[in-house]
Structures are given as structure tokens and as C-alpha cells.
Amino acid sequence: MTKTSARPSAPLTTAAHAADPPRPLLEVRDLRTWLGAEDPVRAVDGVSLRMARGEALGLVGESGSGKSILARSIMGLLPESAATSGQVLLDGVDVLGSAPARRAALWGRTVAMVFQDAGRALNPVVRIGRQMCEGMTRHLGISSADARRRAVELLGEVGVPEPAARLSSYPHELSGGQRQRVMIAMALAGEPDLLIADEPTTALDVTVQRQILDLLGRVRADRDMGLLLITHDLALVAGRTDRTAVMYAGRLVEIGPTPVVFAAPRHRYASALLESTPSLSTARGSTLRAIPGGLPDPRRATDGCRFAPRCEAAAPECVARPVPFAMADRADHRFACLRPVGPGTRGRVCPEGDGRGRDR
């Protein structure tokens, strides 16, 4: 099902204006998120990134890197004790600076989210039909009958068998893969411009994982929808995203086209992640490389490179001051590492870098 809502075309102006780049669908500017009322933790620390309309961006990193908190910060779904600074622009609208009613109007219509555990995200004592229809009648302003018809259509679109009958089911009566498909259908109900999928295949077997990821890719292509795919499994974003961003300890450390990041990572952490990921070559006897140590204590975060304690190439200069973003061999591939992997020992300082390893 394709998106039907019409958008006004941009007026024709001068050639200079015609050459201006299109406005990003999502733009995160210097976002910081603190969790906890006492002794707050910097869970997201100065992240900046952009997403174009229709683009698929993979966000990867170990559990605890701040990926899910970044997603919830974008959605405005943080606990009351959390604090944020910076900007999150959704189709030009500043989410963090908007009134609650304005933010609520964006949810479902401009941006929607698929959570990693459908078994916990769905209400176990409410039938599937009611959970789907209540959101549509509230956010879309349609009647209950129209919402029910649309729910059946959406469940069929995402591959749930006997969709009309499933409206009367409780979540526990569905398989894990079917529950995840229901979550995706609910997220697609408002025809969002951006879908955030946070570990959408957690606890699913390999076959169902592939089905869910194929489904997300097909829906994105059909609707020209942006997709932010969050995972700790690099294999899930390979071949399924246009670009990949790597997070570590609350910061963005590398971002670029997915084939380039996978073939020639520059940041030492991105390289170590790839070397610790199983592949066909490891099945033939190669040894996986484990990353020594663990994530740093976020309550004792430093301004320098936070991967330095685990990095075999770290030097005193790596922790002495913030690490600027550098440009690799192409302008759309950037990394924050003073001793990068690959050609040369240092990258060119990116003119858009700001000294804290953030992509602009």
C-alpha cells in the first residue's frame, strides 16, 4: 500500500535556490541526553546526524552504547527524570522545542517506532484489534469501522495470516514473529515518513529475522519511507541500509555508506566490531577477534576517545582532548579517530567537525 497523502510542491525560484539540497527528513543536532535525577548519566553525548527522505540508516554498536536512548530521545519517549539538550528536527519541526501537543501530532504521522520486544510492547490483556484501532481513531480521526477495515488491510500487508480473525486474538495467542508483524502494522497505520526500528528481530529465529527485515525493506521501498534500523548485529544492516552509523559510549564514532564502512572501516572500534562478527570465513576455521574490556562507566565519561582503554593503538593524545571528525577518502565517510585503520596514520580534519566526533 503506497502513501496517499499529497504534499505541496516547492515553488520554482532562482537557479541558486533550485540548487539547494533538499531538507533532511531527520536532523539531529548536538543531542545530549542525561538519565537519572541524582548523579545523571550522559547516555547520549553530542550526537549529530542527518537522514534523507526514503533513506535507510543502520545504527550499530554494542549493547549499552546509547542507541536505544538516542531513538527514544528522537521520539520524545524518555522518563520524566531525563534531560535533553540540542535539537531534533523532523521534517523541519523542532521536536524538543515543541509543545507536548505538537510533539504528539508528529507521532504516528511523521515518525513511528517499532520496539524490540513486541511481547512487552503489546498489552497482554487487550485484543489485537482494539490495540490497533484505538490509535488510528485517535491519531487519524477515522471511524471505528474504518479503523477496523484498515487494521485488516495492514495486517495483510505485513503478512499476518487470516488478518480479520487475528483482530480478535490476544498477543499470547500469536507467535513471536506474528507479534512483531503486528507491531510493524501498528507503526505503519499513520503512514509515517520515518520508521525507527529498535532491535526489531530480538529473540526471533534466523528465518523469522530475515522475513521481518525483508518486510521492512519492502515497505520502505513501497512508501518511500525513511528507516532507522538499530541493532547490535552488524550482519543485519549489511545489504539492507544505505548508510551505517557506529555508536560507542554515547557518541557517534563513524558514519558512511554501508558498503564502504564494512569494506574499509577507519575507526578502531568499527574495525574491531567487524572483526568480532561471525562470517562464512570464520565457519571455515578463522578465529573471531574479541574486543577486550567493556564499555566505560558513563558516570566517569571523558572528553577524549572513550574507546582508548580498549584500543591497541591508543596514545596519550587520544584521551587528552576531544577527537575531531575526520574525512576518509570520500566526503560522505567520516570517523573520529586519531590513529585510524587503513591508509595513513591520521585522517583529514573535516571542516564540519566540531571537536567531539560528531557528524554534521
* HSE of 203, CA atoms in CB hemisphere, 13 A: 13
pLDDT digit string (tens) for 249-296?
Answer: 999 999 999 999 999 999 999 999 998 877 655 555 566 678 888 898
DSSP, collapsed to helix, strand or coil, labels residue 116 as coil
pLDDT digit string (tens) for 120-155?
Answer: 889 999 999 999 998 888 878 899 999 999 999 999
As a whole number of angstroms, the distance between CA 246 and CA 227 comes to 16
Looking at domain 23-241, does it have CATH number 3.40.50.300? yes
Does this model's pTM top 0.95? My answer is no
- The b/e string for 264-292 (b: 16+ C-beta within 10 A; e otherwise) is bbbbbbbbbbbbebeeeeeeeeeeeeeee
- The b/e string for 72-83 (b: 16+ C-beta within 10 A; e otherwise) is bbbbbebeeebe
**CA nearest neighbour of 311 among 299, 320, 319, 303:** 319
The whole-number pLDDT of residue 80 equals: 87
Summarize the confidence of residues 346-359 as an average pLDDT. 37
Q: How far is CA 70 from CA 44, 81, 182, 312, in A?
A: 6, 16, 24, 28
Question: CA end-to-end span of the chain, whole Å?
Answer: 34
Strand partners, 90: 26, 93
pLDDT at 6 over 50: no
As a whole number of angstroms, the distance between CA 57 and CA 242 comes to 6
The whole-number pLDDT of residue 112 equals: 93
pLDDT at 173 over 60: yes
Instruction: Name the DSSP letter for residue 43.
Output: E
DSSP, collapsed to helix, strand or coil, labels residue 56 as strand
DSSP, collapsed to helix, strand or coil, labels residue 358 as coil
The whole-number pLDDT of residue 328 equals: 81
DSSP string of 243-307, one letter each residue: EEEEEETTEEEEEEEHHHHHHS--SHHHHHHHHTS--HHHHTTPPPPPPPS----GGG--SS-TT
What ranges do the domains of the chain cover? 23-241, 270-277+303-360
Per the CB < 8 A criterion, the answer to whether 214 and 43 are in contact is no
